[in-house]
Amino acid sequence: MPTLKANLSIALLILIVPVVWASPIQTTKANDDEFGPVVKAYLGYLRNEQEVVDDRASRHEVSAGYYRRNSNRIKALRQMAIRLARESQNDYLPELEAVTADELTLLFEKPPNPVAFRVGQILKNTFRYLGMVRSTESFYVFARLDPYEQADGAEKDLKKKPLLGNETGPSSLSRTRRVGP
């Protein structure tokens, strides 16, 4: 009888292990199934980027700090992409950028103070601040504005700013006469 119990235990283990092993893969695929082809493609791109970072780390081509930061950046981008897709119920994602506080100079010549960021705020008529994602480190996530949004923002800025100098136009349309000796 002990062999029957052992055989039954082994058979049960053989049946359960593949189900438990496959469940994380299935849940990831099920999560991706809720999105359209554009969002799925972006999430696939992020998975591929993580594989590249993992491969480079396994070959000792990058430092542990580089690996950690880029893995966390990929996680932050993934979280923001999923959040945006779920909130908008739209199969569209803007171009996303995730940077830490010390990397803000990569996006801005004179980096603004991250404490003053407001969600939805447009910075330098180029980026919209989407929020901060904590993935071990804090990443500030921005959406790059498309050219139409940038042009719209520039037009609004022109309407807001008062004209400099004489607002009715130049006083004289001709050049002043030169008086000679």
- Scanning 1-146, the segments in alpha helix (DSSP H) are 2-33, 37-58, 64-88
> Do 79 and 129 belong together in one domain?
no
Please report whether residue 179 resides in a domain: no
pLDDT tens for the 181 residues of the chain, in order: 556 565 545 554 455 544 444 444 443 444 677 899 999 999 999 999 999 999 999 999 999 999 999 999 999 999 999 999 999 999 999 999 999 999 999 999 999 999 999 999 999 989 999 999 998 899 999 999 988 777 776 666 666 665 554 444 444 444 455 565 5
How many other CB atoms sit within 10 Å of the CB of residue 69?
A: 19
The pTM assigned to this predicted structure is 0.68
> Do 145 and 89 belong together in one domain?
no
Domain end among 51, 70, 93: 93
Domain end among 47, 70, 93: 93
> Do 25 and 84 belong together in one domain?
yes
126: containing domain: 94-159
